[in-house]
Amino acid sequence: MVYEESTYDYVAKWTEKTQIKYVPHAKKGNTKSAERYEQYSQARTVGEALLLGAKAEDFLHDYQRKFIEVKRLKVEVFDSIEDQRQTHESFFSHFPPASAAALRARSDKTFKALTLAQALGVDLQDAQKLREGNETLEMTVGRLLADRTAQVVLEAVEKDGRRVTDCEVLSVLRLWMFKKNETRQNVLPEGQQWVHSDTFGLIRSRTGQYMVTNATREYPHVTQILNTWLHDRRPPQLDERFPCTSISLNSGYAAKRHRDGNNEGPSMIRGFGDYTGGQLAYWPDDDKSSAVENLVHEDRIPMDISKGLVLFDGNRGHEVDDFQGERFSVV
């Protein structure tokens, strides 16, 4: 059986203490596999399942087939990163070499992030507590690193009396761990179910209320460095400071042709990263008299957003050209 990347990603977070719940009688038929399942499916932890006859490969198979339910990964407290590494390694050692290597590669990314977090003075206990929310440990550590980096930059900017540089913003964006955003249906490229996109500032809920996003509250220095960078770079078309209620961060996707639905006034956009292509194509004369899909390709104006801020009306049709490389956008 070929296992999905998401299966390896999730099982790599387990240890023998991970609490699990099996679907009763999920394996049918008069087979040895079904007989073993009836025994080990009584387990309540990964370690108990191993003692009751489960093979390591069963965890990958059963999780992918949705025979195992893991309601929430319980946060385990370790004495050190090395202690955590050895605990995971003990679990991986039960797997055949190829599967163990796949799991170990994913786990190593976490340990590298944790080591860097300690080097930068990020509180590891705070990271593990935050993991109990809707962020994985890897995501929380990455976001804390981005926030800590932004804080160091802001302190240097204040001390030196200078502007935040583009390279410093890019360093924060590279550390930031993006969530899979399934709500931006109007920008999803063909065949994709989600994009990497986060919003700082205010958003409007489904009930019509305005609220501050969690990322804004939990990672204030990322919010501040974006606002500071924007404040110091007013486009020549504007005579005064550009006010905005939200900033959208995007990573690694070319938005399909669309119109923004809830904008008031113009938007500004800037591209970051090492990429080619990825221009913002804009229909400045779009009067919204027809569907956005019917806009004439020759009427669009490609704009290179990698050189500096670009001012445009997001309520008019726009799209992103295909690109190669690492591309972020700040809108």
| DSSP structure string for 226-284 | HHHHHHT---TT-SS----SEEEEEES--PPSB--SS--S-EEEEEESSEEE-PEEE-T
Q: What is the spatial distance between Cα 98 and Cα 56, in angstroms, rounded to a whole number? A: 12
pTM for this model (two decimals): 0.70
pLDDT at 76: 67
Structure tokens at 288: 């919204």
pLDDT at 118: 74
- Greatest alpha-carbon pair distance for the chain in Å reads 78
Q: What is the spatial distance between Cα 254 and Cα 273, in angstroms, rounded to a whole number? A: 14
Phi, psi of 211 (to 5 degrees): -145, 155
Q: What is the spatial distance between Cα 280 and Cα 286, in angstroms, rounded to a whole number? A: 15
pLDDT at 140: 82
pLDDT at 142: 85
pLDDT at 134: 63
Q: What is the spatial distance between Cα 42 and Cα 30, in angstroms, rounded to a whole number? A: 19
Cα 223–Cα 248–Cα 303 angle in degrees, nearest 5:
125
Per-residue pLDDT tens listing for the chain (331 residues): 889 888 998 899 899 999 999 999 999 888 999 999 999 999 999 999 999 999 999 999 999 999 998 866 665 667 788 888 899 999 999 999 999 999 998 888 778 777 777 776 766 566 556 554 566 777 888 898 899 999 999 999 999 999 999 999 999 999 999 988 888 888 888 888 899 999 999 888 778 788 999 899 989 999 999 999 998 887 777 767 777 889 999 999 999 999 987 777 789 999 999 999 999 999 999 999 999 999 999 999 999 999 999 999 999 999 999 999 999 999 9
